[in-house]
Amino acid sequence: MKSLRSLLPILVIILTTATLAQTPAPTAAQKSFDQLKSLAGAWQGAVTVVPPMADMADTHAEITMRVTSRGHALVHEMKGAGTPDDPAKYDHPVTMFYLDGDRLLLTHYCDAGNRPRMTARVSPDGKQVEFDFLDVSGRTDYGHMQHALFTIVDANHHTEDWTFMMPGDKPMHAHMDLQRTK
């Protein structure tokens, strides 16, 4: 019995080492998701729209991002700076980022009343995560979000580029240059 007790710690070490050796390396999707989760916090910055729109000149956006669901999802909320926090009256789209197997997806809950999904691809340097249109649920009469690009400059600065496909397949691009506020 004494010999079994002395073998027990060795057996635990062997099993632990074998288990750790079987832990797979993080996928590109997981690395991208972790990079986006590092943006959790509050952000504010200028918005540039192309083609220019009179009602969107000199606007600023407020973005909040928070990790939820035990780290399995990232919530991204956007609104105009200084706009009351009343999503029933003002634009307040919500985007959810999540892993689906070896893919990083987003679902954008759009003020246009639809839910486009996009799938990510990462740049070789890992500083950009680009999302390409996958599909859309809901009405697209007023258009839908088509593309998104997140560029991480540093821990307190990132940019977001969103492409909205208007009726008639006319793209509208919004570029946000964001600084961390919290």
Expressed in angstroms, the distance from the first to the final Cα of the chain is 59
Query: So what's the pLDDT on residue 83?
Result: 86
* pTM for the whole structure: 0.84
Question: How many domains is the chain built from?
Answer: 1
Whether residue 135 lies inside any domain: the answer is yes
Query: So what's the pLDDT on residue 12?
Result: 52
How far is 85 from 62, CA to CA, in rounded Å? Answer: 11
Whether residue 139 lies inside any domain: the answer is yes
Query: So what's the pLDDT on residue 25?
Result: 87
How far is 77 from 109, CA to CA, in rounded Å? Answer: 10
Query: So what's the pLDDT on residue 169?
Result: 92
How far is 46 from 21, CA to CA, in rounded Å? Answer: 47
Alpha-carbon torsion (62, 40, 76, 89), positive or negative: negative
Query: So what's the pLDDT on residue 95?
Result: 98
For the domain that residue 58 is a member of, what is the CATH number?
A: 2.40.128.20
Rg (CA), the chain: 21
Whether residue 133 lies inside any domain: the answer is yes
CA-nearest of 182, 180, 166, 39 to 114 is 166
Query: So what's the pLDDT on residue 165?
Result: 96
Whether residue 88 lies inside any domain: the answer is yes
SS3 15: helix
Query: So what's the pLDDT on residue 50?
Result: 93
Whether residue 60 lies inside any domain: the answer is yes
Whether residue 17 lies inside any domain: the answer is no
Whether residue 9 lies inside any domain: the answer is no
Distances from the Cα of 141 to the Cα of 9, 53, 54, 89, 92, angstroms? 66, 19, 22, 20, 19
Q: Domain limits at 100?
A: 26-180
Whether residue 6 lies inside any domain: the answer is no
Averages of pLDDT over runs of 10 residues in the chain (182 residues) are 59 54 81 95 96 80 97 96 80 95 96 96 87 97 96 97 95 97 93
CA-nearest of 104, 96, 97 to 30 is 104
- 41 phi/psi in degrees, rounded to 5: 145, -165
* Preceding omega of 24 cis (within 30 degrees of 0): no
The DSSP 8-state label assigned to residue 85 in this structure reads S
